[in-house]
A = this chain, B = another copy of it.
């Protein structure tokens, strides 16, 4: 049983109440706590030593990453982050300076995005450091953009470049908060999420939630320099395109909107965010699953994230 199957089983029948607008299954939970013009976003995310960072990672970058991942989920709902709690589980003989530097990295990212750190907890995890962030955010009532809103004919867009994040970007990425808010304010975005598990897997979440399929144009997928270098260097058997679809930890925005808005968006984007690439990588179609078109023909992309040329 993998992570997604476990989550599907555990979230089958969760307790709910009248405050819940969106429960488990999207980038954040959405709650109505009675703020007249806003709904509340609620999210947790954990990083674990040996999985999301190593003992050699600089502590400032560990703290930064822990919060940045969670901020990316607020971006994925076009929200504004408000306040976070930090749970840090430490081996017994922790180095106080190391832990203080984790907080330095975390705090300085929090300050950049106006997020208050309002407490949390230290506890013991004897073998490795684990940091869990709980984050609250808000967005304008009536403006929610979920994974399930993609419509047949929509253009599919992704920001930035994908793949090869492990070479360094996973510790330094910028959560796309301003970009997502601008999108939500100026365009009718149908579906939105952040790319955390790889474009291939994450696009599938939008498709499944929206009950549609996608055609992707291989040449349109923006592949990072890191993924290309890695593929060329021979230290992986993964072609750069497959890396772009499956590496994960890109933390870029993936979204769909009506094709008729696509040109207007691209023009406006280049003026507003000249430093950040925006790529139209394909379109939403009837049916299910992902098919990828290249010079040879059309191929299907399977559930485990690897391309099977058929």
Contacts and interface: CB of A to CB of B under 8 A. Distances in A.
Interface of A: 1, 3, 6-7, 9-11, 13-17, 19-20, 22-25, 28-29, 31, 33-38, 40, 42-46, 48, 50-51, 82-83, 85, 87, 89, 96, 99-100, 103, 107, 110-111, 114-128, 130, 132, 134, 136, 138
Number of copies: 2
B6 A99 contact: yes
A110 B46 contact: no
A1 B136 CA distance: 31
Given A25-B119, A29-B85, A33-B40, 16 more contacts: A9-B100, A10-B100, A15-B107, A15-B116, A17-B82, A23-B117, A31-B83, A34-B37, A35-B35, A42-B134, A42-B136, A44-B132, A45-B121, A48-B123, A130-B130, A136-B136
Contacts of A82: 17, 19, 31, 33
A85 B134 contact: yes
Given A85-B44, A125-B48, A117 B7 contact: no
B42 A118 contact: yes
A23 B116 contact: yes
30 contacts: A10-B99, A17-B116, A19-B82, A20-B83, A22-B118, A23-B118, A23-B119, A29-B83, A29-B85, A29-B119, A31-B82, A31-B83, A33-B33, A33-B136, A34-B37, A40-B136, A42-B83, A42-B118, A42-B134, A43-B119, A44-B44, A44-B134, A45-B121, A46-B89, A48-B125, A50-B126, A125-B128, A126-B127, A126-B128, A130-B130
Contacts of A85: 29, 42-44, 134
Q: Which residue, A6, A24, A130, A134, has most C-beta atoms of chain B within 10 A?
A: A134
A45 B235 CA distance: 42
A199 to B, nearest CB: 21
Contacts of A115: 15, 17
A102 B87 CA distance: 20
A301 B132 CA distance: 35
A17 B31 CA distance: 21
Contacts of A29: 83, 85, 118-119
A250 to B, nearest CB: 18
A44 B120 contact: yes
Which 7 residue pairs of A and B lie closest in terms of their CB atoms, listed nearest first? Answer: A134-B134, A29-B118, A24-B119, A14-B117, A15-B110, A127-B127, A34-B35
